[in-house]
Structures are given as structure tokens and as C-alpha cells.
Amino acid sequence: MANAFWCMVEDDRKGTPKKVMAEVIGEATRLAGGDVEAVWLTDTATDDGIRQLGEWGAKKVWLIEGAELAPYRAEVWVPIVAELVAAQSPKAILGPVTSRQREFMARLAARLGVGLAGDCMGLAMDGDKLVGTRPVYAGKLLAKVAWAKTPWLATLRPNVFKPADAQPGQTAAVERPSVQIPAAQLKLVERREEASTGLPELTEAEIVISGGRGMKGPENYVILEELGGIIGAAVGASRAAVDAGWRPHRFQIGQTGRTISPKLYLGFGVSGAIQHLAGMRTSKVIVAVNKDPEAPIFKIADYGIVADLFEVVPQLTQEFKRLLEK
Ligand SMILES: Cc1cc2nc3c(=O)[nH]c(=O)nc-3n(C[C@H](O)[C@H](O)[C@H](O)COP(=O)(O)OP(=O)(O)OC[C@H]3O[C@@H](n4cnc5c(N)ncnc54)[C@H](O)[C@@H]3O)c2cc1C
């Protein structure tokens, strides 16, 4: 439908839309007044996944299913969605900020010849125009942007927009459009599955613990993981820790890593360089533990502890354990 706001579905690759889709669909519903449709490219759609999208508020799910769609390849996905856009003329296309959607939406914008506002922290209708608010200069400024033509493309920073309340029993119509699935240009040579830490994913977590160079070595992250296990937190790292090979890059928070916006950020041995802040400064509550009282992170922290993290972390772990066992 020409007035529809589309939401690109990000899933867990096992047939379940990620929690962040509740935020994307919730925001699309507020902006579009209910004219919201989900677009799901997958090799593993499940009835539960479709039901979930409907309960969050999608009126329709454009379902494009096929073994060729996984793993994600931009050269396969982009022409499919571009073809669907040409046939349906949606007004806007929104997606969450994830590694996949970052690339996909940028390429789709280029293919359609329209603008993309990446990493939006606010969206609002101004008359019949959409206005996005997004960080520039590593988060030092917020810029308001508008689009010259439709569809308006935007990616939404996770944990910033209010998630839709699921309405049990509310369903979405499923439409399977006939589209050309292009042949993949890239061949999958080897697939490696990262071993799960058992902790929540960085961009989805409500609590994130970050360990910096002050952790002194990879072996010490176990104390952060123990704390994370107790309070249900994801464990990330600064670039210094990633560059030192202590943590894989997927755990890096910051300008050249993940953007997070959890309810609670706990930084241990992180100095607070501008590039790190770019990825976490919108966290609701920021707690920093650092030996150096002059560390820049204290300038944006809500709570700061000037102390040795190797003393503080075990104490916090014990205290949370005690409180949560009550
Ligand atoms: C183009 C570009 C992109 C970048 N992108 C990113 C990015 O995405 N993410 C990112 O994080 N950085 C990024 N950086 C790097 C960034 O500039 C910093 O170098 C990096 O963030 C520093 O990491 P750190 O805070 O862990 O280390 P440091 O700056 O070395 O800080 C370590 C801190 O640990 C404290 N400490 C030491 N021991 C203890 C202890 N026992 N207890 C408590 N505190 C202790 C120290 O006082 C110090 O403040 C980027 C840089 C560039 C140029």
C-alpha cells in the first residue's frame, strides 16, 4: 500500500524475530497510524514468528522464503526488496541498527536512489513529512534530517524507541509475493558459528558490562561474565581490548563497533574515549569504575567509583548474588 510503513524483519536465524522488532514496529505504528507491514526474508519462517509480528502490530507480513536467502547476502536481498518496493510503493522502510541491516539498508537506499537516515534516535511526523534525529560527529551533536523523496529509509537504534505492547490474538495477513531471487555472486566457503556465551546479545541486552584495557588480559573477563550471569547482562569491550585480541570484534562497543543503549551500562577499566562513548552514551544509567579519578568516562557517568576494578567486581557479584537470592 502506498502509505505503508515497512519494517525489515531482523531474526535470530532460527525463525524468530528479534526483540528489537517490537521497537521498530511500535515506532512505525505511532508514525503511520497503523498502516504497518513487515518484510521478512528468511529461509526459516515459523508460524510463531509470524504470529509475533502480528501481535506487535504488523497488519501484513510480506514473506519471502527460500534456502537461497541464507546466509544473508546483500546482492540477493537488495534486488528482491527493490522489486517489491517498485510494485508496492511503501512510504517508509524502517529497520533496526544491526550489522546486517546497516549494510542492507544502505545498499537498498543506493539502489532506490533515496536517502537513508542511519542510527536514528528519534522519528516524528512534521505535517506529512518524516523527520529523523540522528547522531553526528561520534555522537557529539544530534542532527535533524528529512528526506527529499519516498520511501523514507531509516535504521533505528535499539533500546531507544518504545516497544509495541504485544496484543495477543492480533494477527497479520501473510502475503508471499512472486519475486525474482537472484543468484548469489558470492559463494559460501566456510561457515563458522560463534560459541554462545549464554549471556544476552550486546545490542538486545537491558544491562551491558564493558571491560576495557584495565581488564589487563583476556583471562580476566571471566569475572565480568560471572557478574553478567547473575544480573542478566551482556559483556562487551572497548576497542583497546578487542585490538589486543582479548575479545572478538563482535563484542566491541563504539564508533567502529556496536551501538548500544541499555537501561544500565557498567564500564570497568574503560577510560571513556570519544569513540567508545559514541557507541554507548545514550545508555539510560552509566556506571564507571576506574582507578583514575580524571578518566573522561566520569564526565558522562551517573555513578562513578574510583577504585581498582579487581576489588569492585567480586564485591558487586557477591552483593547481587545475595540480593537476588533473597
Ligand atoms: C577511528 C577510530 C575508531 C575507534 N573506534 C573505537 C570503538 O568503536 N570503540 C572503542 O572503545 N574505541 C575505539 N577507538 C579507540 C579509542 O580512541 C580508545 O583508544 C579506546 O576506546 C581505549 O580503550 P580503553 O578505554 O579500554 O583503554 P585506555 O584508554 O587505555 O583506558 C584504560 C582505563 O583503565 C583504567 N584502569 C587500569 N587498570 C584499572 C583497574 N585495575 N581498575 C580500574 N581501572 C583501571 C585506566 O585508568 C584507564 O582509564 C577508536 C579510535 C579511532 C582512532
| 127 found inside a domain | yes
Place of cell 537470592: 325
pLDDT in tens, 76-102: 999 999 999 999 999 999 999 998 999
Distances (CA, A) of 233 to 121, 206, 210, 268: 23, 7, 10, 14
Residue 118 sits in the same domain as residue 266: no
| 305 found inside a domain | yes
Dig out the grid coordinates for 276 from the structure. Answer: 567508545
Distance 157 CA to ligand 1 centre (A): 23
Query: Residue 178: which residues within 8 A CB-CB, separation 6 or more?
Result: none
Q: Are strands 207-211 and 173-175 parallel, antiparallel or unpaired?
A: unpaired
**Averaged pLDDT for residues 187-194:** 81
Residue 169 sits in the same domain as residue 213: no
| 270 found inside a domain | yes
- Pick the residue whose CA is nearest to atom 35 on ligand 1: 269
Total number of domains in the chain? 2
- Pick the residue whose CA is nearest to atom 51 on ligand 1: 275
Secondary structure, 3-state, 304-324: EEECCHHHHHHHHHHHHHHHH
Place of cell 541498527: 97
Domain boundary among 133, 152, 175: 175
Query: Residue 190: which residues within 8 A CB-CB, separation 6 or more?
Result: none
Residue 86 sits in the same domain as residue 228: no
Distance 265 CA to ligand 1 centre (A): 15
Residue 129 sits in the same domain as residue 224: no
Domain boundary among 160, 175, 190: 175
Distances (CA, A) of 240 to 86, 181, 244, 258, 262: 45, 41, 6, 14, 21
- What are the b/e assignments for 203-235, b being 16+ CB within 10 Å? bbbebbbbbbbbbeeeebbebbbebbebbebbb
Residue 228 sits in the same domain as residue 165: no
- Pick the residue whose CA is nearest to atom 49 on ligand 1: 271
| 187 found inside a domain | no
Residue 153 sits in the same domain as residue 13: yes
**pLDDT of 169 above 80:** yes
Number of neighbouring beta carbons within 10 Å of residue 39: 24
Residue 155 sits in the same domain as residue 212: no
Residue 55 sits in the same domain as residue 118: yes
| 67 found inside a domain | yes
Pocket lining for ligand 1, CB < 6 angstroms: 212-214, 238-241, 252-257, 269-271, 273, 275-276, 279, 289-292, 295, 308-310
| 264 found inside a domain | yes
Residue among 86, 87, 77, 34 at smallest CA distance from 57? 34
| 86 found inside a domain | yes
Residue among 81, 99, 71 at smallest CA distance from 38? 81
Residue 59 sits in the same domain as residue 130: yes
Residue 168 sits in the same domain as residue 212: no
Domain boundary among 127, 157, 175: 175
Instruction: Work out the pLDDT band at 27, boundaries 50, 70, 90.
Output: very high
- What does pTM read for this prediction? 0.85
| 141 found inside a domain | yes
**Averaged pLDDT for residues 55-74:** 95
Q: How many angstroms separate the CA atoms of 174 and 37, rounded?
A: 10
CATH number at residue 271: 3.40.50.1220
Instruction: Report helix, strand or coil for 25.
Output: helix
Whole-number average pLDDT of the chain: 95
Atom of ligand 1 nearest to the CA of 309: 42
- Pick the residue whose CA is nearest to atom 18 on ligand 1: 273
Residue 314 sits in the same domain as residue 230: yes
Atom of ligand 1 nearest to the CA of 256: 8
CATH number at residue 163: 3.40.50.620
**Averaged pLDDT for residues 297-313:** 98
Instruction: Work out the pLDDT band at 197, boundaries 50, 70, 90.
Output: confident
Residue-by-residue DSSP string for 93-156: EEEE--HHHHHHHHHHHHHHT--EEEEESEEEEETTEEEEEEEETTTTEEEEEE-SSSSEEEEE
Residue 137 sits in the same domain as residue 216: no
The parent domain of residue 298 ranges over 207-325
